[in-house]
Amino acid sequence: MIRNKYFFLAFRLIVGGVFFASGLLKVGDPLAFAQDIKNFRIVSHEASFLAALILPWIEILCGALLITGILRRPSALLASGLLIGFIILVGVTMARGIDTDCGCFGSLSHRADWWLLLQDGVLLLMSLCVLFAKPGPRV
């Protein structure tokens, strides 16, 4: 069990930073992000459009709250939920043999592949650590 408070601080800043950057890179071009979502061929055209309007803002808020430590647990819960969703989405897409960009970082995105699953898995572990960390002195 990780007890060092500086580990939790690092996890919080890493997950928060990734979410904040990811949201910021997508928020300026929702249509491109909607196309990225549509490319996964799981949700409808309309759902892709709506998700592209809202998801980057969830990531920005989640990221900012994790970085600042405000609403730490709710934002960690949300980040964990999103990461579980991303892992399932990428896994299903790979299993179906669809070769597409992940759309995670706007134009800087890379392919939905094993490397991405690993990255999301590590972020999920960090996020869960932040979620279940015992309350202690603020770091």
Partner 1 sequence: MNFKKTVAGAALIVLAAVLLGLAANFPLLQKFLKGEFRESLFSSDKYPGIILIGLAEAEELFVRGSTLFIDSRPKQKFSEGHILNAVSIPLEDNKKKLKSPLNVPLDKIIVVYCDGGDCLESLALAKVLHSQGYKNIRVFTGGWAEWVGTGHPTAKGHDPQ
> Which residues sit at the interface with partner 1, rule CB under 8 A?
27, 29-32, 34-35, 38-39, 41, 45, 48-49, 53-58, 60-62, 65, 71, 73-75, 77-78, 81, 99-101, 111, 131-132
| Secondary structure of 23-57 in HEC code, one letter for each residue | HHHHHCCHHHHHHHHHHCCCCCHHHHHHHHHHHHH
Q: How far is the CB of 68 from partner 1 (least distance, A)?
A: 13
Which of 109, 110, 116 minimizes the C-alpha distance to 90? 116
Q: How far is the CB of 129 from partner 1 (least distance, A)?
A: 13
Q: How far is the CB of 71 from partner 1 (least distance, A)?
A: 5
First-residue to last-residue Cα distance in the chain:
18
Which residues sit opposite 101 in a β-bridge? 111
Question: Which one, 9 or 27, has the nearer CB to partner 1?
Answer: 27
